[in-house]
Structure 1
Amino acid sequence: MSDWPSSREKQRQFVLAYVASGFKNATEAARQVGYSDRTAKVTSSQLLTKPNFFHVQEVIKILKENFDKRSAELSIASAIEIKQFHTAVMRGEVNDTDLIMTGDGMQEVIEIPARLKERQKSADSLAKMLSEGEATARTETALDNYFKELEDALNGD
């Protein structure tokens, strides 16, 4: 787009506004760059479909592909996020939900700390992830000791 002649400046601004909208509203992008309310819908449609605006469409196509690719990358949990989640569950920082009976025969949803079984599963998952690259015998021992202490505390020992 930087090599477009100055006569296409408004088209360049339209492309940038359309990208900034997340490719959602071409009419609004046209309004933002100065096309009148009366002509914004028709102009934006022409910029996106007419053969004489192929240069605009080609740039938008490339930018949209990059946008979609990056959006997909960002929507996938990273290894760090997964490790942080399992750590939080293991430490009892994440609550679960349960149903309890109320006096009128109905059930109510309540929040409860994660059960020991779920905490152990997260610890096992975390240990497995760590052992695939960064775990040491010390880490495994620390996890074992931590869960032994938790189990003792829950059993009243």
Structure 2
Amino acid sequence: MTEKQKRFVDYFIETGNKTEAAKKAGYSEKRAAEIGAENYRKPHIKAAIDAGLKELQDERTAGKTEVMQFLTAVMRGELQEEVVTSEGTGDGRSQTKIVKKQVSAHDRLDAAKQLARRYGLDKLVVEQKLDDRIQFIEPPDEDVSHADD
């Protein structure tokens, strides 16, 4: 692949526009649309564009490990979120500021539920004892044998 073609690939990935990519890569302004379309049809250039777009998608998209780590951090209360608060300063005036606070118990519980679903723990029955201990109990197997009527 020529240097101009490599630049075309890079600029196409950046802009998503064949004509603009051809211009930025250094091709003739007058023939940029034609050359851009021609380059895009070349199998080796198209393959390089597809590989570059896939790599970009992989970098921008959270994978399952990252999602699980995030949900775990939320559940454990390891993350903080920014919220806007308003404080009175006297004379009927107030001032807003951004403060960090721990993720809410509701959000932590929701993260725990999502993790439980992922691990199949949502099928367990939770029983809370009077002394505040929580015990997970396997639900009884459902009777799947049905006699034909």
**1:78, CA displacement in angstroms?**
1.2
Alignment correspondent of 2:52? 67
CA distance in 2: counterparts of 1:61 and 1:86, whole angstroms: 37
Residues 45, 79 of structure 1: alpha-carbon distance in 2 compared, 3 angstrom cutoff = farther
**TM-score, with structure 2 as normaliser:** 0.56
Say if 2:83 is the partner of 1:98: yes
Which AA in structure 2 matches 1:17?
A: R
Residue in 1 that maps onto 2:116: 127
CA contact (8 A) 2:23 2:32 kept: no
On the 8 A contact 1:96/1:112 being kept in 2, the answer is yes
Q: TM-score under structure 1 normalisation?
A: 0.53
Count residues with an aligned counterpart: 116
User: Compared with structure 1, are the counterparts of its residues 14 and 112 closer, same or farther at alpha carbon in structure 2 (3 Å cutoff)?
Assistant: same
Give 1:124 deviation, angstroms: 1.1
Calculate percent identity across the aligned residue pairs: 20
Q: Which residue of 2 aligns with 1:111?
A: 100
* Other structure's SS at 2:109 match: helix
Measure the CA separation in 1 of the matches of 2:30 and 2:66. 41
**1:5-154 equivalence runs, <5 A:** 12-21=2-11, 22=13, 24=15, 25-29=21-25, 40-42=26-28, 46=31, 49-50=34-35, 54=38, 57-58=41-42, 59-103=44-88, 104-131=93-120
Match of 1:35 in 2: none
- Do the aligned residues in 2 keep the contact of 1:87 with 1:126 (CA within 8 Å)? yes
Higher share of residues assigned strand: 2
Q: Structure 2, unaligned stretches of length 5 or more? A: 16-20, 134-149
Q: Match for 2:5: what amino acid?
A: V
Greater share of helix: 1
2:147 corresponding residue in structure 1: none
Structure 1 residues 76 and 50 mapped into 2: Cα distance closer, same or farther (>3 Å)?
closer
Which segments of 5 or more consecutive residues in structure 1 lack a partner in the other structure? 2-11, 30-39, 150-157
